Amino acid sequence: MRPMLRRMKTVAMAASLLAGLSLGACSSLRTHPIKHPSTALPPATNTPSARYIKSELDSHHDQSGFRLMTRSTNALLSRVSLADHAKHSIDLQYYIFNNDATGRLVAQRLLLAADRGVRIRMLIDDINVQGGIDMLDALNAHPNIQVRLFNPFNTRDPSFVAKAAQFLMDAHRLNRRMHNKSFIVDNNVAIVGGRNIGNAYFDARNDTNFRDLDLIAIGPVVKEASHAFDEYWNCDAAYPVTAYRGKHASHYDLAQLRVDLTREARKFAQSDYAQATLDELPYGPSADRPGAWFWGPAMLVADQPAKIETAKDDPELRIGPQIKAMTDQARQSVLLISPYFVPGDKDTRYLGSLAARGVTVEVLTNSLASTDEPAVHAGYSRYRRALLEGGVQLYELRPAAGAPQAATSGGKSSGVSLHAKAIVVDRQWVFIGSMNMDERSKLLNTEMGIIVDSPPLAKAVTRFFDTAAAPTNAYHVVLVGKDRPHAGQLQWQTMQDGKQKLYYHDPDTSVQRRLEVKLLKLLPIEGLL
């Protein structure tokens, strides 16, 4: 989900109004804030969770264990349960931490953990904290909670106009965001994947909900995740939430937040959503409960924080070469899952070269009807024909049945939208993380993920792909053969009410929506997508 990208279309129109407008600053940012470096605490050894994890690891030397979270309710309950069981530390790093029902539920559990003496470090990208800065500021008033903002804007809680103005004046810096996502507890267990913290990522919204993937991890890869967190936490781009001049939250503000969060958590626990979650997962999916694990050698890969400072591409700072080394090994198959898929000429040729040497290459991405980013879809559509001609198979997720995408809907998709980012090579190697397959993830944002050598995990992710790409859930995009009607045209194939249905333009979209994409294709914005 890319709220800044959604706004880019309106920034150009607003630019002429900005010259005479104030930046709307509540307070400005100190250029040299006082902050103290810190590192991850040693792994806990004296907790029930730690003893359980050690017993599992003892029979899997040098390997890491994983649980795949495909269900959104599972993903939320895991974070809540892990926070509830934390004894020493919680480190969390997110692109989005929304001030909504699920975000405040997680915040409430973090606050309870801090009350037990757990040290908590929260690192949140600043692009989306508008509306949540007061909550983060109040949490930071707790002696056991530290909050830092990554690459912040120069003013606290700026209006859209102020944020757009700063973005225009300092685009090189502010266009580079921390897209990483991790949740590390007691340095023994970590959640890494594609989900942010917010209602849409946990099936708690009434309109749009994302389909995503996370891994719960134990073993050596957790220490690697903690090391990556420390690098970001201590880097120059991470500012304490108190770096803004002016008034900050007091213990009174924290006390009021505590009351509010407790009341809201009680309401949430009594909701239909919470009851459905408990009915589905009565014993909880957290890492301190017995259950099956996927095992294998694993590597945490993370861009270096310095990636946002470089004027030119430096492959040594990013994870792209490590991902490519995995796909280069392909002999049989490559599955790519990316909600925002803009391969460019180079990667289009690369995927075609894999197909040319007999590798089955399949891609699952959003359809125009399901995407929340029409600008990204415009970029992807430029390469659709070349990908198909190169032998790549394309599947586009359908929105929820009966909820077609509205025209010019301001970026919001209807029903279900893909948000998972994963790669499976030869049903053996798996990547799951935050990285989309586009130029923004490659060159502008920082990203992270886990590469695992585990055929059972690969099988589970393949099952996720196959389910999402099934004819009832996705459109299979093909080129019509020369000897058939509509020869040479793109064709979208799907199943509806037990019958095959064919389209010759982006399905379940209005004329206005398709025209919007055609206009966006004319803009030179591919490097920003």
Cα(15)–Cα(327) distance, integer angstroms: 43
C-alpha pair distances (Å), 99 with each of 34, 128, 135, 257, 261: 26, 10, 7, 12, 11
Q: What are phi and psi of 340, to 5 degrees?
A: -120, 100
Cα(283)–Cα(478) distance, integer angstroms: 44
Q: Interior CA angle at 90 toward 84 and 95, to 5°?
A: 110
Q: Which CATH architecture has domain 299-528?
A: 2-Layer Sandwich (3.30)
Q: Which of 179, 223, 248, 377 is catalytic?
A: 179
Phi-psi region of 106 (alpha: psi -120 to 50; beta: other; left: phi over 0): alpha
Q: Which of 181, 307, 377, 442 is catalytic?
A: 181
Q: What is the pLDDT of residue 280?
A: 57
Q: Which of 91, 126, 137, 186 is catalytic?
A: 186
C-alpha dihedral over 281, 204, 514, 517, to 10 degrees? Answer: -100
Q: Which of 372, 426, 438, 508 is catalytic?
A: 426
For residue 385, with 0-12 CB atoms within 10 Å meaning exposed, 13-18 middle and 19 or more buried, which class applies?
middle
Is 53 in contact with 288 (CB distance < 8 Å)?
yes
Match domain 43-156+174-280 to its CATH number in 3.30.870.10, 3.40.50.720, 3.30.200.20, 3.40.1130.10.
3.30.870.10
Q: What are phi and psi of 121, to 5 degrees?
A: -120, 125
Catalytic-residue membership of 486: no
Q: What is the pLDDT of residue 212?
A: 95
pLDDT digits (tens, 9 = 90+) for 345-389: 999 999 999 999 999 999 999 999 999 899 999 999 999 999 999
Cα(336)–Cα(365) distance, integer angstroms: 8
Catalytic-residue membership of 426: yes
**60 three-class SS:** coil
What is the end-to-end Cα distance of the chain in Å, rounded? 12
Catalytic-residue membership of 181: yes
Cα(282)–Cα(183) distance, integer angstroms: 22
Domain spans, the chain:
43-156+174-280, 299-528
Give the residue ranges of the chain where pLDDT is below 50: 3-25, 282-285, 401-413
Q: Which of 85, 248, 421, 442 is catalytic?
A: 421
Is 265 in contact with 61 (CB distance < 8 Å)?
no
Q: What is the pLDDT of residue 410?
A: 40
Catalytic-residue membership of 419: yes
**33 three-class SS:** coil
Is 395 in contact with 467 (CB distance < 8 Å)?
no
Q: What is the pLDDT of residue 514?
A: 93
Closest CA to 148 of 118, 120, 123: 123
Q: What is the pLDDT of residue 26?
A: 61
Q: What is the DSSP letter of 397?
A: E
CB hemisphere CA count around 210 (13 angstroms): 28
C-alpha pair distances (Å), 279 with each of 71, 83, 345, 477, 523: 13, 21, 48, 38, 49
Cβ neighbours, 10 Å, residue 10: 12
Q: What is the pLDDT of residue 482?
A: 77
Positive or negative, the Cα torsion across 236, 241, 242, 245?
positive
Q: What is the pLDDT of residue 59?
A: 92
